[in-house]
Amino acid sequence: MKFCDLVGSTGISAQLDAEEWRDLVGGYLDAASAAVTEMGGHVAKKPGDGLLALFGYPVAQENDAERAARAALAIQRALAELNRNNAGTGKPVLAARIGLETGPAVVDAAGEIYGDVANIAARVQALAEPGAVLVTARVQRQIAGLFVAEERGTQRSRVCPSRRLCSGSSARGAADAVPARAS
């Protein structure tokens, strides 16, 4: 499960009129949603300027964690591209925090998600630095060797230890590599 949220969105939205904010967030959410669906994920919710995505829904696959991590890095690349395209237009620079967790969940007919995995993904996202993807130890075990990850140590929340996902490993090719921070 992946939770993604824009950094400082309340302050940014206060600087723009509602239509400008909608267009800016809409461009980001469209790019983020495309990254999720291209990797076989399911966009479950778009709360405000956030995005909650499921991998392994409705059918689990062996590489769900890998696909979620690749989608998270693709979101950061897409956001960097959006910022490059908006440079010089007076639009604010956007940054996102992304948290990944894996575990069982139940999705009911109304699309509500039950299980601790969504709460943990949201907590992990809140601990991430702007422009970063933070994964739990459970996710790291599933994607070990596929990505470069920095140890982040033990956090005071229930998520410990966590790692910052930096890029795809060189074994997967340069196309997967991105800076840890979106520029």
DSSP-derived 3-state class of residue 100 = strand
**Dist CA 28 CA 79 (whole Å):** 7
Per-residue pLDDT of 161-182, as tens digits, reads 445 666 554 333 323 323 333 3
Q: How confident is the model at residue 48 (pLDDT cuts 50, 70, 90)?
A: confident
What pTM value is reported for the model? Answer: 0.83
Q: pLDDT > 90: what percent of the chain?
A: 68
pLDDT, one tens digit per residue, over 113-168 is: 999 998 999 999 999 999 999 999 899 999 988 888 877 765 543 333 445 666 55
Give the architecture-level CATH label for domain 2-176: 2-Layer Sandwich (3.30)
Would you list the domain boundaries of the chain? Answer: 2-176
Please state, in angstroms and rounded to a whole number, the distance separating the CA atoms of residues 102 and 120.
9
What would the pLDDT profile of 66-116 be if each residue is shown by its tens digit? 999 999 999 999 999 999 999 999 899 999 999 999 999 999 999 899 999
